[in-house]
Amino acid sequence: PEGFLEVITGPMFAGKTSELIKRIERQIFAKRKAALFKPSIDNRYSEDKVVAHNGLSYEAFVVPTTEEGVRTIYQKTKEEDFEVIGIDEVQFFPMSIVEILNKLADEGVYVIASGLNLDFKGEPFEVTKELLALADNIVYLTAICSVCGREATRTQRLINGKPAPRDSPRILVGGIEAYEARCRRHHIVP
């Protein structure tokens, strides 16, 4: 079996989840045993589906963003003998997911992890950062800056239409009501 670690990253509204679903679907068409996992923190659109901002959705195993959740991903993959697994919103899991996904790739699984590059402050999400270093392939997606229309690599958090301050909590689940994709120039952290 050919293990492989692939990381899909970029800001919000770049199409990361759609890309992940697309890659899993291609594998399923080829009759490979594939599964999607997502953290239970992300309940924006569905409890048991991975759903992209464009409405594209796919059934998934929902796992908690704890050590237990990370172990579940490993055990489930082994039990069911999945050849391909996708993990959405990987940045929400504890650091231990990095070695687990790398180990699964070593053991022959094609692992596709999708996650944010940076938080709203422009600081790297550690899990994604480590996975990028270990990746066999990186799919770096950009969005469109909502201010100038250039390529966006960052995510702006807005509270009542204003840039969120630096002391805003790191985790805030949301969509277009709270976030915009922005280029370097138009990304603001007061």
Instruction: List active site positions.
Output: 89
Token look-up 């509270």 returns: 159
Considering only 9, 17, 65, 128, the residue that binds ligand TMP (CB under 6 A) is 17
Interacting positions 14-53 with Mg ion (CB under 5 A): 17
CA angle 130, 131, 134 (to 5 degrees): 95
Question: Three-state DSSP class for 88?
Answer: coil
Burial 92-112 (b: 16+ CB within 10 A, else e): bbeeebbebbbebbeeebbbb
Interacting positions 81-140 with ligand TMP (CB under 6 A): 89, 116, 119-120
Interacting positions 24-63 with ligand TMP (CB under 6 A): 42, 44
Q: Is 117 in the site for Mg ion (CB under 5 A)?
A: no
Question: Three-state DSSP class for 184?
Answer: coil
Which residues of this chain interact with ligand TMP, rule CB under 6 A? 12, 16-17, 42, 44, 89, 116, 119-120, 155, 170-174
Which residues of this chain interact with Mg ion, rule CB under 5 A? 17
